[in-house]
Each structure stands twice: as structure tokens, then as C-alpha cells.
């Protein structure tokens, strides 16, 4: 039963990632506990980062691990309080662009 719950949470996170606001992402990734919230946070961040890898606007290292991306996004969300009504992916993109500016890419 637990496996089914986790699978359902991951599917929900993957389909809802684009609908989630930055405020919901911040709450889920920095304030909530529980396996479902942690899994949904990781899935949302991982999905966005994978999407950004092929975009020349972002210079995300190819060897960036999921835990590093998650830590980068959490740090950004906590350091930039403000209007979090934008889509979560927008804030994830800002976090990645700030942490890995294209000028630093060899």
C-alpha cells in the first residue's frame, strides 16, 4: 500500500509541476515534512532542471546531481522571499540561472 501511495504522489507531482506556484513549491520543499512532500518537491525540481538542461539560457552542469539541484532551489527560495505567485518552474529557473550563470560555463 505504501508503494502505491508513493507512486501516486510521484505521478501527481510530475503532472502538477507546471501548475504549482512558487509559494506552494517553497512550502513543500522547505516547510513540510513527510515522504510524499519530499518526493513531490524532488520530482518538481528534477523535472524542471532536466527541461532546462537543453535550454541555452541556463548553464547547468551536466554532472549536477538531484540533491545539489534541490539544495540550490531551497537556498534560493529561502533567500528570495517575495511574490511567489509565479509558476514554480519560473523560480526554479531563476535559482539555476543565479547558481550557474552562463558566463561561468567553459
CA–CA dist 32, 28 (Å, integer):
5
Q: Return the minimum-mean-pLDDT range out of 20-24, 82-86, 88-92.
A: 82-86
Write down all domains in the chain, each with its CATH number in brackets: 2-104 (1.10.890)
Q: In three state form, how does the secondary structure of the chain look?
A: CHHHHHHHHHHHHHHHCCCCEHHHHHHHHHHCCCHHHHHHHHHHHHHHHHHHCCCCCCCCCCCCCHHHHHHHHHHHHHHCCCCCCCEHHHHHHHHHHHHCCHHHCC
29 has pLDDT over 80: yes
pTM of the model as a whole: 0.73
Tell whether the model's pLDDT for residue 68 goes beyond 90. Answer: yes
Percent of the chain past pLDDT 90, that is, above it, reads 17
Amino acid at each position: 500500500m505504501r508503494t502505491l501511495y508513493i507512486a501516486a504522489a510521484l505521478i501527481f507531482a510530475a503532472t502538477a509541476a507546471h501548475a504549482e506556484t512558487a509559494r506552494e513549491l517553497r512550502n513543500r520543499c522547505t516547510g513540510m515534512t513527510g515522504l510524499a512532500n519530499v518526493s513531490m518537491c524532488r520530482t518538481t525540481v528534477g523535472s524542471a532542471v532536466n527541461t532546462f538542461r537543453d535550454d541555452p539560457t541556463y548553464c547547468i552542469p551536466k554532472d549536477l546531481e538531484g540533491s545539489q539541484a534541490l539544495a540550490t532551489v531551497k537556498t534560493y527560495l529561502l533567500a528570495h522571499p517575495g511574490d511567489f505567485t509565479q509558476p514554480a518552474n519560473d523560480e526554479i529557473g531563476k535559482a539555476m540561472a543565479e547558481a550557474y550563470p552562463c558566463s561561468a560555463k567553459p
